[in-house]
Structure 1
């Protein structure tokens, strides 16, 4: 356990009780060089982190960084341990359910064409949904692969060209 001054202990204890864990404002008697002598060692030991302050929402600032930005001080897990506050074990984030495509849309039509046993070519899809080829490729890589998590395969077929399918 690291040795802390009374002032450092007060700053960390106050921050541990804040919902946002911000260590500001500092005690009134602590200004200028004296504040630096107390705060800089806490940052160096990893007990406080300098993070960008949300000035628009009125977060207090530790120092200005220019361009209207500033930093604030937030207590870390190590800082909480240094003053004997038990940290909560982080709960795993709940798995987000994959979005489902709406029925009756051009995207649903595209998915239906790709799920067919024969698959579909870009030209066939363009004719069915009245989209440009670059838009079709964009929807397949963005909405279908990334957003919906579908696996799209393609293979070159002699009489049709490149055929796309959704892998099962």
Structure 2
């Protein structure tokens, strides 16, 4: 007899997102100072184009997160994500 699997719940999806490399990216983006591509590549071990792809594809498109990018004279382009429950 086959054992039907339950579809993933919202809680399990969010816990899966919070763990792993995407979770590391999210935590860095939620810092007050945000994160640069260099910060994110250092933490994940990914190449810059992979980090940008994760931000665009996974975080923005798939998960609907409002990642912003603002230029900073000393650091370059800084990515930010508002903390959960917070407003900008």
Bin of the TM-score, shorter chain as denominator length: 0.7 to 0.9
Query: What is the alpha-carbon root mean square deviation over aligned residues?
Result: 2.0
Q: Determine the C-alpha separation between the residues in 2 that align with 1:101 and 1:132.
A: 25
Aligned partner of 1:100 among 2, 9, 14:
14
What is the CA-CA distance between 1:104 and the residue it aligns to? 3.2
Larger radius of gyration: 1
Higher RCO, 1 or 2 (CA under 8 Å, sep at least 6)?
2
- Shift >4 Å, 4+ stretches: none
Q: What are the within-5 Å matches in structure 2 for residues 1-168 of structure 1?
A: 99-102=13-16, 103-167=18-82, 168=87
Q: Name whichever structure is richer in helix by fraction.
A: 2
Q: Name whichever structure is richer in strand by fraction.
A: 1
TM-score, normalised with respect to structure 2 = 0.74
Structure 1 stretches lacking a partner, 5+ long = 1-96
Structure 2 stretches lacking a partner, 5+ long = 1-9
Q: Determine the C-alpha separation between the residues in 1 that align with 2:60 and 2:32.
A: 19
Name the SS of the counterpart of 2:35 in structure 1.
coil
What is the CA-CA distance between 1:101 and the residue it aligns to? 4.9
The number of residue pairs the alignment matches comes to: 73
